[in-house]
Amino acid sequence: MSEPNVLAIIPARGGSKSIPDKNLVELAGKPLIAHSIISAIETPSISRVLVTTDSDKIKDVSIHYDAEVPFIRPANLSEDDTPDLPVFQHCLEWLQLNESYSPDLVIHLRPTTPFRNVNVIEECINKMLMTKEADSLRVVTPSREHPYKMWTLDGDFEYLSPLISSEIHEPYNQPRQSLPVSYFQPGYLDVIRTNTITHLSSMSGSKIMGHILQSTNIVDIDDQLSLDFSRFLHGE
């Protein structure tokens, strides 16, 4: 029986309004994107590491750290509001058309969540390989704020409406301990079956396994404040 083929895809646009050249900013002595590349390369079960980008600078840095960058992503897939799905579909279609290559699993590594434990990545891959009916796996952490206590503003008078409905009577007035445990997706890691992307046209499908990390120090670097906090956590 052949070894499963696992492809890590790291999507990295060149444009960033919050931090110029965000994916190349230095953190812990390396460009931000390098941390995700290195984590993927050091994971035994990952077969290939590919960066999809519209930037020649990101391409050069990624190749320097031994990632593959076989194409430059089209501009229409590199806008501020471009979702992940068409980016991943384009990547998989390109590989199928140009290399007749289709992986068994796709690992989604966001460069803005740079610090990962290789053992966690490996464990998540193995869980997906052993659970054939799952469409994907997503790393989650216990949420700091409960969604039952979140609101939207409704109407001209700005009355509050619960963000989500519930069979629990007025859950927003209940102690947190009496509510169902909730989890947040910090962007740490997704493991996705290729067919979920190519045939279900989804980045998750409906059968999503959860892998729970208790750490609350996972930082998604989206602005200068989160970058400074990540530097603080790592002694810079």
Residue 216 — pLDDT band, cuts 50, 70, 90?
low
Average pLDDT for residues 54-66, to the nearest whole number? Answer: 97
Asked if pLDDT for residue 1 goes beyond 70, the answer is: no
What is residue 56's predicted lDDT score, i.e. its pLDDT? Answer: 96
pLDDT-derived band at 2, boundaries 50, 70, 90: confident
Question: What is the token pair recorded at 177?
Answer: 């301990």
Q: Which amino acid is at 46?
A: I
Q: Give the pLDDT confidence of 117-157 residue by residue, as tens digits.
A: 999 999 999 999 999 999 999 999 999 899 999 999 887 77
pLDDT score of 65? 98
Q: How far apart are the first and last CA of the chain?
A: 47
Model pTM score: 0.92
Q: Which domains can be identified in the chain, with CATH numbers?
A: 6-143+183-227 (3.90.550.10), 147-178 (no CATH)
Cα separation, 236 vs 164, in Å, equals 40
> DSSP code of 208?
E
Residue 82 token pair:
């471009």
pLDDT digits (tens, 9 = 90+) for 71-119: 999 999 999 899 999 999 999 999 999 999 999 999 999 999 999 999 9
**DSSP secondary structure letter of residue 88:** H
Question: DSSP of 151-195, one letter per residue?
Answer: EEEETTTTEEEESS--SSSSGGGS-GGGSPP-EE--SS-EEEEHH
What integer pLDDT is reported at residue 218 of this predicted model?
83
pLDDT band for 198, please (50, 70, 90 cuts).
very high
Confidence of residue 215 (pLDDT cuts 50, 70, 90): confident
